């Protein structure tokens, strides 16, 4: 018998709570059940109904714990795992002081494998089952990432970071190498098992116009891939882009004019967008990714979550390890809530949970595969203990409804709240 029947509270969505009233698209069951069979979710419903329909299933009773999709982290840098929480730098200084020296170490395949193992173990411990990661310019870092994730059965997105200027010599690519190595890695990994490849220029300041144009051509040749990069993170960065690309209308135009703007494009940060950029992102169906702990840690600014949602730009949520200061998507949701408050908006827990699961899956064009509790969806599941610490438990005892029971875990939870993780239908 390969069927496992998980019992507990369940939370699922029938739509986007940023585009519809959250009450209309959110479904919570206190007496929920999820049936897993052959790596996929077979059924979701009441425990009474599913117990009666599948009497021979192996029962795992999580009591009052919340059964939900595994978290989807839409923008990370796994090579920066060892330098998370490095003190006191703005973006460009932080890259030069911490990021670039560490990324050079991943030319060593053994070290790249160690970092990939460390990162994925930590991510899974925090309930994250899928992530989109920038690797380094070394193919060894890409191979280590996909190989390590494959051994765990994880669905992951990643790609070789491409840079041919404004970086240390040990990380510099050429235009041709960026194309050739990216194409070879796409052929090796994209669609193999649960691997998804993303063509990955780091950001405009570290790529010449020639490299951006060549990567745009590669994306045109392989449109089934994603394309991930950074956009409008810090004021100094934007000014630098203007100096490097004086003919560009704005930062987004440095991607648009070279074929790097499209529906399968994923743009990290996107804090200081102009109205033209917002309109264009919405028009092409691209997604931007909110990285709140990173944006506050490095002092980048306040992301306009509700404004971009109103403009119908696709939205994802991310830890942005290691510029982000936590591996936890719970902490990331808490930071998103706090940033929205500073922007004058109050985000409901339903919206935060959707953003960290189905919203991020949709941003990565993985909707229908992960990020949702529903028949046919791959069984990547996180089970949350909503009473994981004494501080949280005492608040939950005074809760008047489910949302008041959930919100303390969003705001104060960490890996202790993760009771169990399932990847491709197998308990981790």
| Res 181: pLDDT | 98
Burial letters 70-99, b for 16+ CB under 10 A, else e: bbbbbbbbbbbbebbebeebebeebbeebb
Q: Which helix (H) or strand (E) holds 242?
A: helix 235-244
3-class state of residue 316 by DSSP = strand
419 vs 95, higher pLDDT: 419
Mean pLDDT, to the nearest integer, of 368-377?
A: 97
For residue range 204-240, list pLDDT tens digits in order: 999 999 999 999 999 999 999 999 999 999 999 999 9
Residue 330 has pLDDT above 80, yes or no: yes
- The pLDDT assigned to 116 comes to 97
**Residues pairing with 43 in the sheet:** 35
* Average pLDDT rounded to a whole number, residues 331-351: 98
- With a pLDDT cut of 70, the percent of the chain lying above it is 100
Question: pLDDT tens digits for 13-48?
Answer: 999 999 999 999 999 999 999 999 999 999 999 999
Strand, coil or helix: 199: strand
Contacts (Cβ under 8 Å, ≥6 apart) of 396: 386, 387, 404, 405, 408
pLDDT of residue 91: 73
| pLDDT tens-digit readout, 112-143 | 999 999 999 999 999 999 999 999 999 999 99
Measure Cα distances from 417 to 145, 185, 338, 390, 408 in Å: 26, 37, 20, 12, 11
Residue 334 confidence (pLDDT) above 70:
yes
- For range 92-115, the mean pLDDT: 90
For the stretch 293-307, pLDDT in tens is 999 998 999 999 999
What is this structure's pTM? Answer: 0.97
Task: Give the pLDDT of residue 205.
Answer: 97
**pLDDT computed for residue 96 by the predictor:** 82
The two three-digit tokens of residue 275, written as one number? 């109205």
Are the beta carbons of 112 and 352 closer than 8 angstroms? no
* In the block, residue with structure tokens 């919405």: 282
Q: Is residue 87 pLDDT above 90, yes or no?
A: no
Fold exhibited by the domain 71-130+138-149+228-363: TIM Barrel (3.20.20)
- SS3 state of residue 179: helix
User: Cα(123)–Cα(360) distance, rounded to whole angstroms?
Assistant: 15
Ordered alpha helix ranges (H), 343-428 = 349-354, 360-363, 390-396, 402-412
Q: What local confidence, expressed as pLDDT, does residue 262 receive?
A: 98
Q: Would you state the pLDDT for residue 8?
A: 98
Average pLDDT of the segment spanning 186-202: 98
How sure is the predictor about 85, in pLDDT bands with cuts at 50, 70 and 90? confident
Mean pLDDT of the 253-268 span: 98
**Which range (80-84, 192-196, 284-288, 409-413) has the least confidence?**
80-84
Is the model's pLDDT at 360 over the cut of 90? yes
pLDDT reported for residue 1: 58
Domain residue limits, the chain: 4-70+372-427, 71-130+138-149+228-363
The answer to whether the beta carbons of residues 200 and 134 sit under 8 Å apart is yes
Name the least confident of 91-100, 140-149, 192-201, 311-320. Answer: 91-100
- pLDDT for 88 equals 77
Do 281 and 256 meet the contact criterion of CB atoms below 8 Å apart? no
Helices assigned H by DSSP within 69-174? 91-94, 100-105, 109-125, 139-152
How many Cβ atoms sit within 10 Å of the Cβ of residue 223? 12
Classified as helix, coil or strand, 84 is coil
Beta pairing class for 26-37 and 381-384: unpaired
Q: What torsion do the CA atoms of 79, 80, 81, 87 make, to the nearest 10 degrees?
A: 170
Q: Over 80: is that where the pLDDT of 161 sits?
A: yes
- Indicate the length of the chain as a whole number: 428
Q: How far is CA 110 from CA 107, 115, 116, 148, 372, in A?
A: 9, 9, 10, 12, 35
Closest of 94, 130, 211, 189 to residue 378, by C-alpha: 130
CATH for the 4-70+372-427 domain, from 2.30.40.10, 3.30.2020.30, 2.40.110.10, 2.40.50.140:
2.30.40.10
């Amino acid at each position: 018998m390969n069927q496992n029947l998980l019992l507990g509270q369940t939370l699922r969505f029938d739509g986007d709570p940023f585009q519809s009233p959250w009450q209309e698209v959110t479904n919570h069951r206190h007496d929920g059940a999820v049936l897993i069979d052959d790596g996929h979710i077979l059924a979701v419903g009441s425990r009474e109904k599913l117990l009666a329909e599948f009497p021979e299933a192996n029962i795992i009773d999580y009591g009052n714990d919340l059964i939900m999709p595994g978290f989807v982290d839409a923008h990370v840098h796994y090579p920066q795992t060892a330098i998370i929480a490095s003190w006191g730098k703005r973006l460009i200084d932080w890259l030069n002081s911490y990021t670039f020296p560490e990324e050079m170490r991943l030319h060593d395949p053994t070290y790249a494998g160690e970092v990939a193992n460390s990162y994925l173990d930590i991510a899974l411990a925090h309930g994250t089952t899928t992530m989109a990661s920038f690797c380094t310019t070394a193919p060894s870092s890409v191979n280590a990432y996909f190989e390590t994730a494959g051994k765990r059965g994880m669905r992951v997105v990643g790609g070789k970071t491409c840079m041919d200027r404004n970086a240390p010599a040990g990380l510099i690519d050429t235009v041709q190498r960026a194309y050739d190595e990216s194409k070879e890695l796409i052929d090796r990994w994209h669609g193999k098992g649960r691997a998804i490849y993303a063509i990955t220029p780091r950001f405009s300041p570290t790529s010449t116009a020639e490299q951006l144009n060549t990567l745009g051509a590669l994306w045109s040749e392989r449109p089934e891939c994603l394309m991930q990069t950074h956009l409008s993170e810090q004021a100094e960065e934007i000014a630098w882009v203007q100096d490097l690309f004086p003919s560009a209308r704005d930062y987004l135009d440095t991607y648009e004019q070279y074929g790097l703007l499209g529906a399968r494009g994923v743009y990290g940060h996107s804090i200081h967008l102009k109205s033209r950029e917002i309109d264009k992102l919405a028009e092409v169906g691209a997604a931007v990714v909110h990285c709140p702990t990173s944006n506050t840690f490095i002092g980048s600014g306040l992301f306009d979550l509700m404004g971009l949602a109103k403009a119908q730009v696709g939205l994802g949520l991310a830890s942005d390890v290691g510029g982000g200061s936590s591996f936890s998507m719970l902490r990331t949701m808490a930071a998103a809530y706090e940033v929205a408050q500073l922007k004058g908006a109050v985000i409901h827990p339903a919206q935060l949970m959707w953003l960290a699961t189905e919203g991020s899956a949709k941003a990565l064009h993985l909707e229908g595969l992960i990020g949702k509790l529903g028949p046919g969806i791959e069984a990547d599941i996180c089970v949350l203990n909503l009473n994981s610490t004494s501080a949280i438990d005492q608040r939950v005892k005074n809760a008047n409804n489910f949302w008041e029971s959930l919100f303390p875990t969003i705001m104060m939870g960490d890996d202790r709240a993760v009771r169990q993780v399932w990847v491709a239908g197998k308990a981790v």
